[in-house]
């Protein structure tokens, strides 16, 4: 469960970084 949360958190963080670069 913790791994899933951590992976989701990392995925969300990557999306923020990705859109940050686009913006």
Angstrom distance (rounded) from CA 17 to CA 11: 10
Q: What is the pLDDT of residues 1-23, one digit of tens each?
A: 566 667 778 888 888 888 899 88
- On whether the pTM is more than 0.75, the answer is no
- C-alpha distance from residue 6 to each of 15, 19, 21 (Å): 14, 20, 23
pLDDT given at position 4:
66
pLDDT given at position 1:
57
């Amino acid at each position: 469960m913790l791994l899933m949360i951590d992976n989701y958190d990392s995925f969300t963080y990557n999306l923020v970084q990705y859109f940050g670069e686009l913006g």
